[in-house]
Amino acid sequence: MIKFVVVDDDVKEIEHVKSLIQEIVDDAKIVSFSKINSELKTEIQNVDEHKIYVLDIELANKVSGISIARLIREVDWESEIIFITNHDKMFESTHRSVYEVFDFIEKFHDFDRRFKKAIKNILKRNFDNKMFKYDANNVELNIYYRAILYIYRDTEERKLVIVTPTNKYKVAMTIKEILNYLDDRFVQCHRSCIVNKNRVEEKNYKEGYFVLDTGEKVYLLSKMNRKLMDND
């Protein structure tokens, strides 16, 4: 479920934005705030979910949506930010790149159409927040599927090793068991290896290796699983 966080000091504006969101995502989870408070800060600190933030630029008590965007980007570069604004293009061009803002939408210029279009475009970008969750033997893991490169069996420890661009995690599972926790982007490419097809840039069945988008070459590719690997 997609989560939206709406921040505006005008209650009517919050309700209007909510109604537009629900026109597109009828089961959307929406939380709203009228100011920066401890609850909003806690929400920002929770990065277990991808979110779409809808922030009014000008809030009461001289608080700026830019201040909120700054707090978000201190801990979260994955979630999307949409600013609702009355500011000119110079303001937009200055802040869009700094905080990786998806869009600036003027309140009084074709707002409904532009806002709904922005939400639809974000959703088309494959809003992917699926996670592998594991909690056993004093090991608790929450890893985004998109971050997993491949999984292989460590024959010495008899555990599976989950490889991401920055870490390796060991879990006491079998290849067959872990496949039940994953989605269809993951395929068994070898009797002791599962790979995320979305992260593979090259496959060489003759030599028995695949190359990941990180540049790593892994020699765990079997001709027997060619059909699975090439079924995109």
| pLDDT at residue 126 in the model | 56
pLDDT (tens, 9 = 90+) of the chain, 232 residues, equals 679 999 999 999 999 999 999 999 988 899 999 988 999 999 999 887 789 999 998 887 767 888 899 999 999 888 899 999 876 554 565 566 667 888 889 888 889 999 999 998 888 765 666 788 888 878 788 888 988 999 999 988 899 999 998 889 999 999 999 999 999 899 999 999 999 998 999 999 999 999 999 999 999 998 877 767 776 5
Task: Give the global pTM.
Answer: 0.57
CA pair distance 19, 99, nearest whole angstrom: 26
Phi, psi of 94 (to 5 degrees): -70, -40
Reference 107, options 230, 215, 213, 9; nearest CA is 9
CA pair distance 139, 229, nearest whole angstrom: 30
- What domains are there in the chain, each with its CATH number? 3-124 (3.40.50.2300), 131-229 (2.40.50.1020)
In the beta sheet, which residues pair with residue 195? 150, 187
Angle, helices 11-24 vs 111-124, to 10°: value is 50
- Residue 178: how many other CB atoms lie within 10 Å: 19
Amino acid residing at 217: K
CA 73, 76, 78, 81 torsion-angle sign? negative
CA pair distance 193, 163, nearest whole angstrom: 11
Tokens of 96: 């869009």
Torsion of CA 133, 46, 107, 34, to 10 degrees: 140
Reference 53, options 144, 122, 146, 129; nearest CA is 122
| pLDDT at residue 160 in the model | 96
